Amino acid sequence: MEKLDNIITHYEQILKQYKKKSKEEHLVEQAQKLSQQLIEFEISPEEVVSLHRNITTTNNFNKDEILQSLDILMEIISAYGFSYREYLDLLKRAEQLDHDVDVAASLQETMLQTTFPAVEGLDMGVVSKAAKKVNGDYYNVLTHYDHKVSFAIADVIGKGIPAALAMSMIKFGMDSYGQSKMPDDALKKLNRVVERNINQNMFVTMFYGLYDYQNHHFYYSSAGHEPAFYYSAKHQTFSRISTKGIVMGVTLDAQFEQKELHFEPGDILIVVTDGVTELRKNDGEFISDDELELLFREHIESTPQVMVNNLFESLNKLQYQNKKDDLTLFVLKRTD
């Protein structure tokens, strides 16, 4: 309040000096600077007029002096006009940007649509929610002609429209190179797409899996992605699975380790993005792996799609609303 009082006092001094006709041009310049301070303090034009009236009344300005002082008042009020026009211009730009983001989100949703194949003995489910309008997470599923299904869960390190464009490029690469490719080889090719075509400050993590539903062998590789959760129905235990591999987009000649495991009936794979593993709860603490596993167990008997839907609802209730991130959950289950 002290600074505001000083501004008001300064205005009074300007009017008194202007009344004496001293250094008029200098006083007009001071009034222009003062107007910016009044705007910063969100003093309305009506309040400025009231302040002006009080000052001229208190200091016994006569009729001619009051008319003369209006020059100062006009300089200050005119600044409000410029400020309002700037505000309208910024508002127009913001509306255009908001429209562009809506278009990008709509295009992203259309371009990145994928469908799950109907495979006997195998079921899948996914939920992917953006923290804002454009999602930085990505998932894709490919059906092969040799009893295999491959999938990828990715997280673009970057947000907004650039992230949407990056994911579109990744989808194109996966659709082009992913048919019957083993995970390590697929990641090598996708890494080249990312490294050559995406902004140098944008990187991508990805978990890539290939499931052979004829013999129920599962092959997987990771490009710096969150370790997946593997549930053994026989032992009723969870384990984290991952492989060595850096994020995509760092270097052209990146190598990716590949591992495999055998799925028994009832075994489940849960792949998530860091919006799940780094979720900040309402108490300010990050969620732990143990807490996630407890949540998974609550819905372990559900079908994959019901499971991910229920998990999302549970996580959304736990999540501190001001610290939201893009969130993706993918579940694959052997059902026979």
For the chain, 336 residues long, give each residue's pLDDT as a single digit of tens: 677 777 778 878 888 887 776 556 677 777 777 777 777 777 777 788 888 888 888 888 888 787 878 887 787 777 766 665 666 676 677 677 666 666 666 665 666 667 788 888 999 999 988 777 666 788 899 888 788 999 999 988 766 667 777 777 787 778 776 565 799 999 999 998 888 877 777 889 999 999 999 999 999 999 999 999 999 999 999 999 999 999 998 999 999 999 999 999 999 999 999 989 999 988 889 999 999 999 999 999 999 999 999 999 999 888 887 667 788 999 999 998
Asked whether 157 and 204 are in contact (CB, 8 A), the reply is: yes
Decide which of 104, 138, 169 is a domain's last residue.
Answer: 104
Q: Are residues 92 and 184 in the same domain?
A: no
Asked whether 153 and 122 are in contact (CB, 8 A), the reply is: no
Q: Are residues 226 and 310 in the same domain?
A: yes
Q: Indicate the number of domains in the chain.
A: 2
Decide which of 104, 130, 146 is a domain's last residue.
Answer: 104
Asked whether 108 and 134 are in contact (CB, 8 A), the reply is: yes
| Residue 269 belongs to a domain | yes
d(CA 148, CA 261) in angstroms, rounded, equals 15
| Residue 61 belongs to a domain | yes
Closest CA to 256 of 148, 168, 181: 181
| Residue 110 belongs to a domain | no
Closest CA to 166 of 200, 115, 127, 142: 200
Q: Are residues 83 and 197 in the same domain?
A: no
Q: Are residues 86 and 135 in the same domain?
A: no
Asked whether 71 and 18 are in contact (CB, 8 A), the reply is: yes
Q: Are residues 82 and 156 in the same domain?
A: no
* 146 phi/psi in degrees, rounded to 5: -125, 45
Closest CA to 155 of 199, 204, 227, 210: 204
Q: Are residues 121 and 89 in the same domain?
A: no
Q: Are residues 168 and 236 in the same domain?
A: yes
Decide which of 59, 84, 104 is a domain's last residue.
Answer: 104
pLDDT score recorded for residue 85: 64
| Residue 272 belongs to a domain | yes
Question: Which residues, at least 6 apart from 181, have a Cβ–Cβ distance to it below 8 Å?
Answer: 150, 189, 210
For 90, the token pair is 């910024």
pLDDT score recorded for residue 153: 94
Q: Are residues 149 and 179 in the same domain?
A: yes
Q: Which domain holds residue 128?
A: 115-334
Q: Are residues 99 and 194 in the same domain?
A: no
d(CA 56, CA 19) in angstroms, rounded, equals 10
Q: Are residues 160 and 240 in the same domain?
A: yes
pLDDT score recorded for residue 78: 75
Asked whether 264 and 323 are in contact (CB, 8 A), the reply is: no
